[in-house]
Chains A and B, each alone.
Chain A
Amino acid sequence: MEDILKVEHVSKRFAEHTALDDVSLSIPRGSVYGLLGPNGAGKTTLIRIINRITAPDTGRVLFDGHELRPEDVRRIGYLPEERGLYKKMKVGEQALFFARLKGLTRHDATQRLREWFRKFGIESWWGKRVDELSKGMAQKVQFIVTVLHEPELLIFDEPFSGFDPINANLLKEEILALRDRGATVIFSTHNMSSVEEVCDHITLINKSHNILSGRVDDIRHSHGTNLFEVSYRGEESALRAAAAGRCELLDGTETQSIYRTIRLHVASDAEVRGVIAALNEAVEVRSFTEVIPSMNDIFIRAVNGSL
C-alpha cells in the first residue's frame, strides 16, 4: 500500500529535553493509524511537526511523495487534544471562519456545515455561543470543523475524551466512514481499547523514541506467547493424562457451568494440531483459542522496557 505520509529520522529538541529522537514512521493511505504512547512521550510534538506548527531540528516529513509544503496543511484536518474554539463566538460563524481559513468559499462552507449539523442533529446550535455549549457539544462542533474541508489526512488527538458512550460511538462510526471514503486517519491516544477497535496500524512512542510499529494484528500475534485456553467437558484427570508430554498445563479455573477451562502452554506452533487432537480424544473440547495479548498488555510491557 502506498504511503500518504512518511516521517524520516525526525528529531526535535527543546531547551531542557528532547521531544523526539530519530523517529521514523510510514502511514499507509486509507489506514487508521494509531499513534500511541504515555503522556509526555512526544506524540503532540510529532503531530505539530506534521501540521507544520513547529519545524523539526533534523529529519523530514514527506506528504504524498513530496516534502511537506505550506499549502499541504489545507489537505490535513487536525483535531487538537485541548479543543480550541472562541468562547464568545457563535457556533455557525465560528465554523464558517475555520472552514474559510481552510480554503473553502463561504457558499460551499455554509452548505457543508448545514449538512453536518443536520447529520449530528445540532441545527439549533447555529446561533448559540460556544460558551453556552457543554464540553461534549463543543467537541462535536470541533469535529465538524476538522473534517469539513474533506482533507485526505485527518489527525485526531484523543478524539473520544469527554464524550459519552453514545456520542463516542457516533464519532467512531463517522471516523470509520471517513476512512471508507478514502481518508487516512492518524489517531493519537493512550486509550488502548479504542486502538483495538479502530486502528489497523500503530506506532508506539515512548521517551521520544519509536519503540514499536506495525499492523495491529501482526503486533499482537508476534507478541503471542503460545498460550492457549481450552474449554472442555469431562474429567480433568483424563485431560491431564492426554496432555502429558505434549504441553505444559497451567492452572485451571473452577466454574459453576458444566464446562471447565484451563490454560496451557504449547512449545511451538507446529505442535498445536497434535495437542488439539490428543485432548479431543480424552475430553469433549468445546473451544480451543490462542490467548492473544491485548494492546493494553503490549503497551504496558513495551513501556516498562520488557520488549
Chain B
Amino acid sequence: MSNISIIVGREFNERVRKKSFIITTILMPVLLIALMAAPALIMHFTRGETKSIAVIDESGLVAPALESGAEAEFETTELSLDEARRELTDHFGVLWIGPDVLTNPGNVKLYANASSSMALEENIRNQIERVLEAEKLKGYQIEDLDRILAEVHTEVTMQTFRNDESQEEDAQAQSSAVSAFVGFALGMVLYMFLVIYGAMVMQSVIEEKNNRVLEVIVSSVRPFDLMMGKILGVACVAVVQILLWVVLVVGIGGLVMPHLMPADVLASAQAVQSGALDASTAAAAAGIDPDMLQALATATDLGYVVMLVVWLLLFLIGGYLLYSAMFAAVGSSVDNVQDAQQLQTPITIPIILGFLVAMSVMNDPNSQIAFWFSIIPFTSPVVMMARIPCGIPMWEILLSLVLLYASFVVMVWLAAKIYRVGIFMYGKKPTFRELAKWMRYKS
C-alpha cells in the first residue's frame, strides 16, 4: 500500500504543477462565466448610436405612425427618391414606401449609406407590419377594437412540480429547461473528463514504457501497484480540478451575480426557493420573466448544487476508474500513441454513445433508452449525470453506481493482466486476440 501511495504522490505532484493544468483550471471557469454573461454583454455593446432615416411615404399611411426610438429616428422628407439618395448622405439611409403598400407589402425599400443591421431591419419591418395590420383591421369596423385586443391578450406561464415522497405539498417548482440544460452540461463534463483523463493515463503508460522507466520501477514494485498508483494519482488530479472549478464558478458567480442582478430580482428568487411565493406572482412583482426567475431560483439553490456536485464526483470517479483501467491496458500493449488508435476504438465508442444518448435525455429523461443507458456501466456515468438534475428515483442512481463500481473492479483485474504482459512487449502491435490471450496468462 505504501508503494501505491508513493506512486500516487508522484503522479499527482507532477501533474498538478504543470503549467497546462494550472492554466486550464483557472481558465475554464472564467470562460464558463464569460459564456453565461455573454448575451448581456453583447446586448450592451451592440446598442450603437441612433440612426436617422429619411422616409419617403408614397402611400401616406405609414410615415405618421412610425415611432422613433433608441435605434432609429425617422423623419419624413419631401424630396424625391433620387434627390434624397443623392443629397441626404449625412443620414443613415432612405426608406421608400410604395403607394400600394397596403395591397403589396413587398413594395418597401431601404437605401442605406452604411451597412445595415438585422436588428434595425427587423425593427422597421415590424413597425410597418403593425401599421398595415391596424389599417386592415380598421376596415372591419369593430368598435372599441383596441380595448378588446388588450383584454384578449394572454400569456401563459407553467410551473412544473416534482412529485416524489421527499417533497412536501409546497413542493418546490423545478424548471425543466434549467434541469435539461444542467443535465446536458454535467453529461458533457463527464464525457470530457473520461476522454481527457483516460487518454492521460494511457499516454503516461506509453511514455513510461518508451523511457524504460517501467523496468526500473517494476524491479521495485508490483506492476499492479504501479498501474493502480497511476490511475489513482490521475484520479486525484481530476477530483481536485473539478472541485477547484466548482469553487471558482460558485465564488466568482457569487461575487458577480449580485452586481448583475437587481436586488429585488434576487430577493424574489429567494422567495421562490423558500416556497413563500410562487414564481409567477414573484415575477409579476419584480417585473421579469417568470421562467428566468425560476431558473435563477434553481441555480442559486445551495442544496441542489451540493447534491449535484456529490453525484457528479461519485459518477466521475467511478466512470474514470472504469475507463482509465482500459486505457492503461491499451497503453501498456503499444509502443506509441499512433498504434493505440485502433485499440482505443472499442473504448471510445461507448463514451461517445453515452454522450449522444445524454443529448436525447434533454427531451425525455425517463425514456426507456435513457433508463437503460444510465444503468449499463459503460455509458452510465455520462447518461445518468444528464438525468439526475431532472429528478429521478434514488434506487436508479444507486443501482447504477453499484454496477459501475463493480465493473470497475472486474475491469482493473483484467487490465492488470494485460498490463503485466504488455509492458514488456516491444516492437509489434498486438491484436485483440492476443490481448485476450494475455488475460489468461498466469504471472
Residue A88 lies at the interface, judged by CB distance under 8 Å to chain B: yes
Question: Quick check: is B216 within 8 A (CB to CB) of the other chain?
Answer: yes
Chain A residue numbers with a CB within 8 Å of B109 are none
Q: Chain B residue with minimal CB distance to A55? A: B443
Known: A97-B6, A97-B10. A53 touches B215 (CB 8 A): yes
B236-257 Cβ-contact flags toward A at 8 Å (1 or 0)? 0000000000000000000000
The segment from B89-97, B206-214, B265-273 that touches chain A is: B206-214
Contacts of A83 in B (CB 8 A): 212
| Given A53-B424, A100-B6, A101-B3, A74 contacting B220 (CB threshold 8 A) | yes
Residue B217 interfacial (CB < 8 Å): yes
Query: With A55-B443, A97-B10 given, can you name 10 additional A-B contacts, CB distance below 8 Å?
Result: A48-B215, A51-B219, A54-B424, A78-B216, A78-B219, A83-B212, A84-B208, A86-B14, A97-B6, A98-B216
**24 sample A-B contacts, Cβ–Cβ < 8 Å, listed by A number:** A48-B215, A51-B219, A53-B424, A54-B424, A73-B219, A80-B212, A80-B216, A80-B219, A82-B212, A84-B214, A84-B216, A84-B217, A85-B216, A86-B213, A89-B14, A93-B13, A97-B10, A98-B220, A100-B6, A101-B220, A101-B221, A102-B220, A142-B216, A145-B216
**B22 contacts partner chain A, Cβ-Cβ < 8 Å:** no
Cα of A82 to Cα of B216 in the assembled complex, Å: 10
- Whether the pair A85, B213 counts as a contact (CB closer than 8 A) is yes
Q: B residues within 8 A CB of A145?
A: 216
Are B211 and A101 in contact, CB atoms less than 8 angstroms apart? Answer: no
Contact of B211 among A48, A85, A97 (CB under 8 A): A85
Q: Are B6 and A84 in contact (CB under 8 A)?
A: no
A82 is contacted by which of B7, B215, B424 (Cβ under 8 Å)? B215
Give the interface size class of chain A. 20 to 34
**A305 part of interface (Cβ distance < 8 Å):** no
Is the CB of A286 closer than 8 A to any CB of chain B? Answer: no
Q: Nearest 8 pairs between A and B by C-beta?
A: A84-B212, A84-B213, A82-B212, A101-B220, A51-B219, A84-B216, A78-B219, A80-B215
8 Å CB interface, A136-159 against B:
142, 145
Cβ of A70 under 8 Å from chain B: yes
- Produce 1/0 per residue, B1-33, CB < 8 A to A: 001001100100110000000000000000000
- Closest A-chain residue to B223, C-beta based? A53
Interface residues, chain B, CB within 8 Å of chain A?
A: 3, 6-7, 10, 13-14, 208, 211-222, 424, 443
Which residues of chain B come closer than 8 Å to A55, judged between CB atoms? 443
Q: With both chains docked as a complex, state the minimum distance between the C-beta of B442 and any C-beta of chain A, in angstroms.
A: 9
Say how far A98's CB is from chain B's closest CB, in angstroms: 7
A70 to B223, CA, bound (A): 12
> Nearest Cβ in chain A — how far from B97, in angstroms?
71
Please name all residues of chain A whose beta carbon is closer than 8 Å to the beta carbon of B443 when the two chains form the complex.
55
A276-295 with Cβ < 8 A to chain B: none
Min C-beta distance of A229 to chain B, whole Å:
46
Question: Taking each of A51, A53, A73, A93, which has the highest tally of chain B beta carbons within 10 Å of its own beta carbon?
Answer: A53
Residues of chain A contacted by B220 (CB below 8 angstroms): 73-74, 98, 101-102
**Among B211, B216, B217, B222, contact of A70 (Cβ-Cβ < 8 Å):** B222
Tell me the A116-149 residues at the B interface (CB within 8 Å).
142, 145
Within 8 Å CB of B13, what residues of A? 93
Q: Does A7 contact B (CB under 8 A)?
A: no
Q: B211 — which chain A residues lie within 8 A by C-beta?
A: 84-87
Please indicate the chain B residues that have their CB under 8 angstroms from the CB of A85 in the complex: 211, 213, 216
Collect the chain B residues with CB atoms within 8 Å of residue A93's CB: 13
Shortest Cβ distance from A131 into chain B, in angstroms?
Answer: 10
The residues of B that contact A102 with a CB separation of less than 8 Å are: 220
- Could you tell me the distance between the alpha carbons of A55 and B442 in the complex, rounded to whole angstroms? 10
- Give the chain B neighbours of A98 by CB distance below 8 A: 216-217, 220
Please indicate which of the listed interface residues B208, B212, B222 has the most CB atoms of chain A within 10 Å of its own CB.
B212
Measured between beta carbons, the chain A residues less than 8 angstroms from B213 are 84-86
For the complex, is A76 an interface residue (Cβ under 8 Å from B)? yes
Least CB distance from B403 to A in Å reads 34
CB of B424 within 8 A of CB of A84, answer no
**Bound: A98/B226 CA distance, A:** 12
